[in-house]
Amino acid sequence: MTTLLDVSALVRRFGGITAVNKIDLAVTAGEFVSIIGPNGAGKTTLFNLISGLDRPDSGTVQFAGETVTGLAPDHIAARGLARTFQHGRVFANLTVRENVLIGAHTRQRAARWPALPIGAALEFVAALIRPTWMRDEQELLDQEVRDILGIFGDRLLPRIDDPAHSLSYANRRRVEIARALALKPKLLLLDEPTAGMNQTETAEMKALIGELKRRGQTILLIEHKLDLVMQLSDRVVVMDDGIKIAEGPPQVVRHDPAVIEAYLGHPTLGAAEKVVAAEAS
């Protein structure tokens, strides 16, 4: 198996706080890895560092065999990395179809022309002339968008031409995932895909992510709903205060005292032991 993502000794400080502290993380192609940890543990900062939205103070990120540390996010995306955002960031005034098409941006021929003034100018001219190949390409992408939206049953397809701001919160989260899939990512980063969803919606999202896993999609997931994490993950990484405090198969991590401590508090007064004892009984 090839290592798709290799993060080593990554550090990011904000003022006096070290949000990400010497994190090592590797993801193999086809693997499903989850990152859990309390609020403020540095999980989203880690995602920002991997996807290029933020630059690390030290450490490296390797993706698909290349060092991508410090590259701009659009370059990293073009190499096959897609992510969703914790609070859902859809393009509010674009329709569902257009939102998903943006996901396919880097796969459009004209958009790949080198960013020199010439490439950009040609892209502009092509947009005005709209040659046959461009129309064919757009038609193909359009079909692809329908296929992707089909994964969500009839949640999104009937609303394909509605602007994203008119969608329910859960539907906006789905659009985000659809947009990420349109990039045909080698690695998919999901940041709390079920945040703010009710139980039915969460169950549906769990089934969907499970389906993506079955299709062989490599996924790195941040999630608070631990039953989802425990059922789907091949491996779980636990972060607290910017540090990786545990890593391993779900069932092992679940019973790791350090993890219980991170979630329930420091066992100074022996409380966590009591809880563990209570659970065992």
Partner 1 sequence: MHSPTNTALPEPLLALDHIDTFYGAIQVHFDLSLEVGRGEIVCLLGGNASGKSTTMKIILGQVQPKGGTVTFAGEAITGLATPKIIRRGVGSVPEARRLFGAMTVRENLLMGAYLRSDRATVAEDLERTLDLFPRVKQRLDQRAGTLSGGEQQMVAMARALMGRPKLICMDEPTMGLSPLYVERVLELVRDINRAGTTIFMVEQNASLALQIAHRGYVLQTGRVVLTGSAQELLMDPGIRDAYLGGEQAA
Partner 2 sequence: MSSWFDYTINGLVVGNIYALLAVGLALIFGVSHLINFAQGSVYSVGAYVGLVCITYLNTPLPLTIAIVLASCGLLGILIERIGLRPLQGRTRIAPLLATIGISLVLDQIVQLVFSAQPRALPSQVPDWRFVIGGGSIGALDLLIAAIGLASAAVLFAFLRFTKLGWAVRATAQDREAAQQMGVDVDRVDSAVFAIASALGGLSGLLVGMYYNNISPAMSFQATLKGIVAQVIGGVGNVPGAIFGSLFLGLTESYGIALFGTSYRNLFAFVILILVLISWPNGLFGGRRSLPPEPLTGTFIAPSRPVLLPFWLVVALVATGLLLPVVVTSPYVIQTLSNAWLYGMLALSLTLVAGTAGQISLGHAALLAIGGYASALLALDLGLSVLVAIPLAGLITGLIGTLLVYPAFGLRGHYVAIATLGIGEIVSLVILNWESLTRGPIGITGIPPLAIGKHDFYSAPAVYWLTFAVLVGLALLQRRLLRSPLGRTLRAIRDDDVAARTYGINPNRYKGLAFAFSGFVAGVSGAITAHLYSYINFETFTSQISVLALTMAILGGLGNVFGAIAAAIALVGLPEIFRVASDYRMLIYGLALLLLIRFRPQGLFGTV
Looking at residues 200 to 259 of the shown chain, list those that interact with partner 1 (rule: CB under 8 A): 224-227, 241, 254
Using CB under 8 A as the binding rule, whether residue 17 contacts partner 1 is answered as: yes
Using CB under 8 A as the binding rule, whether residue 134 contacts partner 1 is answered as: no
Residue 128 binds what, of partner 1, partner 2, none (CB under 5 to 8 Å, by partner type)?
A: partner 2
Find the shortest distance in angstroms from Cβ 152 to partner 1: 17
Q: What's the CA gap between 45 and 277, in Å, rounded?
A: 35
Q: What's the CA gap between 137 and 126, in Å, rounded?
A: 12
Q: What's the CA gap between 111 and 2, in Å, rounded?
A: 29
Using CB under 8 A as the binding rule, whether residue 263 contacts partner 1 is answered as: yes
User: Which residues, 6 or more positions from 96, have their beta carbon under 8 angstroms from its beta carbon?
Assistant: 149, 156, 159, 160, 161, 162, 164, 167, 175, 178
DSSP states along 179-242 = HHHHT--SEEEEE-TTTT--HHHHHHHHHHHHHHHHTT-EEEEE-S-HHHHHHH-SEEEEEETT
Closest by CA position to 90, among listed 176, 188, 180, 171: 176
Residue 260 binds what, of partner 1, partner 2, none (CB under 5 to 8 Å, by partner type)?
A: partner 1
Q: Return the residue of 2, 93, 132, 199 that touches partner 1, per CB under 8 A.
A: 199
Residue 275 binds what, of partner 2, partner 1, none (CB under 5 to 8 Å, by partner type)?
A: partner 1
Residue 272 binds what, of partner 2, partner 1, none (CB under 5 to 8 Å, by partner type)?
A: partner 1
DSSP helix/strand/coil, 116:
coil
Q: What's the CA gap between 78 and 73, in Å, rounded?
A: 9
Looking at residues 74 to 113 of the shown chain, list those that interact with partner 1 (rule: CB under 8 A): none
Q: By CB under 8 A, name the binding residues for partner 2.
A: 14-15, 48, 51-54, 72-74, 77-78, 82-83, 85, 87-94, 98, 101-103, 105-106, 108, 110-111, 115, 117, 120-121, 123-124, 127-128, 130, 134, 138, 163, 165-166, 179, 183
Find the shortest distance in angstroms from Cβ 226 to partner 2: 26
CB atoms within 10 A of CB 43: 26
Residue 165 burial by Cβ neighbours in a 10 Å radius (0-12, 13-18, 19+): exposed
The binding track of 36-65 with respect to partner 1, each residue x by CB under 8 A or -, is --xxx-------------------------
Residue 23 binds what, of partner 2, partner 1, none (CB under 5 to 8 Å, by partner type)?
A: none
Find the shortest distance in angstroms from Cβ 163 to partner 1: 15
Instruction: Please say whether the beta carbons of 197 and 132 come within 8 A.
Output: no
Residue 271 binds what, of partner 1, partner 2, none (CB under 5 to 8 Å, by partner type)?
A: partner 1
Q: Which residues are at the interface with partner 1 (CB under 8 A)?
A: 16-17, 38-40, 168-169, 195-196, 198-199, 224-227, 241, 254, 260, 263-269, 271-272, 274-275, 278-279, 281
